[in-house]
Structure 1
Amino acid sequence: MADWNSVQYLKFENERTQPAIDLVNRIFIGDPKRIIDIGCGPGNSTQVLAQRFPNAYILGVDNSSNMIETAKRDYPNLDFKTCDVSKDLSMFGNDFDVVFSNACIQWIPKHNELLKNMMVLLKIDGILAVQTPMNYQEPIHKIIAEVSINKKWKSEFSSPRIFYNLTQSQYFDLLSEISSEFSMWETIYCHKLKSHKDIMEWYRDTGLRPYLNVLSDEKKKAFEQDVFDRVVEEYPIQKNGNIIFRFPRFFFIATSKTK
């Protein structure tokens, strides 16, 4: 699989960072000493943590070398490491006050196991704070799914894209089991984008990425064009020329149990 593109990802840095800010502002813990940011990407979420908790040691980890290189360049005062968290988290110990993850776990399978492993990283009464996109019912996701399985494109994709998120009900039951207390909420962000092309730019290194990775350059352009034509149909232009781009995101904060 091709590496993530930090330049593409950061084209909408403010919009992508806002959920991290909102999640960090819901973390109430006195003077944390150690924090880990799982799936830190280009470091924008790690910097949000550093601003909120300036006295803490903060480690950002991500499986993308491109993202980690960008994070190290842009935030040299913070610590970053390349790590595939789907395979091993035990190397980081079990003494973190906060385990944070913003828009990452949707790419990782087996959430029952994953969240338990994330909890193991925490001290007693430590805080697990997670945000994951849940925008499957929005037009852009339906468009990509429908285009990918039509007669023109179905043969190009050996298997449909898998969404690893659990349902909110399943997260409720899981957090009831693995934490002493927790809270859950959902926020729908109504981003203001300037054009339909901006929607494509937003998704080129996220929702479109699994499809584009398996296509030739020529077919990438054709696939994107087919998606774009549908995007134009489904997203109306507002009076000022902008487009409302709805983006639902799911959050939860959980406190670790006594070990």
Structure 2
Amino acid sequence: MSGMRMVAWTHRGGGISVSRMVVWDSQQYLRFRKERTQPSRDLAMQLPPDDGSATHLIDIGCGPGNSTAVLRERYPNAEILGVDSSPEMVSAAREAHPDIDFALCDVSKPDELAALEQDFDVVFSNACIQWVPDHAHLISSLLGLLKLGGTLAVQTPMNYEEPIHRIIARIVHSPAYADKLPQAREFFNLTPPEYWELLHAHAAHFRMWTTTYMHTLPSHEAIMDWYRGTGLRPYLQALPDDAARAAFEDEVFNRVREAYPTQSDGSIIFPFPRFFFTAVR
């Protein structure tokens, strides 16, 4: 998920409206660097070859820079900018990849998205757009950052039917947590047919595909560790103290152990479906 790392919601409980902002942790996110980076490598391989014509690239939702480094490998001589809404992620990216430019930019805010240059050869976004609302506007705006003939390349998780997501949703909406945790939609992805219609309307031509990554994790605890860096994080931050967070995690963990069988060596197969598309302006 090298993506936008701030998620805001308004949670109303007991007549009180509370606005929260999720703060992300680059070290937690990168504990599964190899697994998280592989989709960006697979997406980058679908970009045009480096013949010297692509000189200006942007990574939308760069996170700690792992996906931006993939672009650097693919286009070693290009000018590349990585942007993210999280200061912590941008700081980590700058430290890890001093040869690449990084900047703060929250593309969920139309004015910040519109302020970006509009002459990129490649607009790349790996595991970001699920955090950004209004994809009808977002996709057309991302295509608008490109030169004519430039390529938009996007990957976004679509693992909502997997056990871990179903488990978290059931607990969040249970009577014990319904008045304690945000009930607003956390992810903003559309369906593949809806993306088809958007791309059909705005792109010269495009491709869409899905890949399910069958990650091998060493334990059920590793699944929890993975999700502490992503899907669990907004809910854990919304709970008032360590005891409440531990109780919530325990309930998720107990259900995770039931939902994911172990292999002969004790490891866990952790399926992770992801949706990809490339589109040409």
Q: TM-score, normalised by structure 2?
A: 0.89
CA distance in 2, matches of 1:162, 1:78: 31
Aligned amino acid, residue 151 of structure 2: I
- Please say if residues 39 and 102 of structure 1, whose CA atoms lie closer than 8 Å, have aligned partners that are also in contact: yes
Q: Partner of 1:22 in structure 2?
A: 42
Aligned amino acid, residue 70 of structure 1: A
Q: Could you give the per-residue CA deviations for residues 146-167 of structure 1, whole angstroms, max 9, x where no partner exists?
A: 0111122112124243320000
Aligned residues: 256
Q: CA shift at 1:38, angstroms?
A: 0.2
RMSD in angstroms over aligned alpha carbons?
A: 0.9
Q: Partner of 2:113 in structure 1?
A: 89
Q: Map 1:85-234 to 2 at 5 A.
A: 85-87=107-109, 88-216=112-240, 217-234=242-259
Paired residue secondary structure (1:130): strand
Q: Could you give the per-residue CA deviations for residues 185-235 of structure 1, whole angstroms, max 9, x where no partner exists?
A: 000000000000000000012111121121022211110110000000000
Q: Partner of 1:6 in structure 2?
A: 26
Q: CA shift at 1:14, angstroms?
A: 0.2
CA distance in 2, matches of 1:151, 1:115: 37
Residue 270 (structure 2) pairs with residue 245 (structure 1): yes
Question: Which structure 2 segments of 5+ residues have no match?
Answer: 1-20
CA distance in 2, matches of 1:114, 1:93: 15
CA distance in 2, matches of 1:73, 1:55: 20
Paired residue secondary structure (1:213): helix
- Please say if residues 50 and 56 of structure 1, whose CA atoms lie closer than 8 Å, have aligned partners that are also in contact: yes
Q: CA shift at 1:89, angstroms?
A: 1.6
**Identity of counterpart residues, as a percentage?**
54
Question: Which structure 1 segments of 5+ residues have no match?
Answer: none
Q: Could you give the per-residue CA deviations for residues 89-142 of structure 1, whole angstroms, max 9, x where no partner exists?
A: 222211100000000000000001011111111000000000000000000000
Aligned amino acid, residue 193 of structure 1: L
**Structure 1 segments of 4+ aligned residues over 4 angstroms from their partners:** none
- Please say if residues 37 and 60 of structure 1, whose CA atoms lie closer than 8 Å, have aligned partners that are also in contact: yes
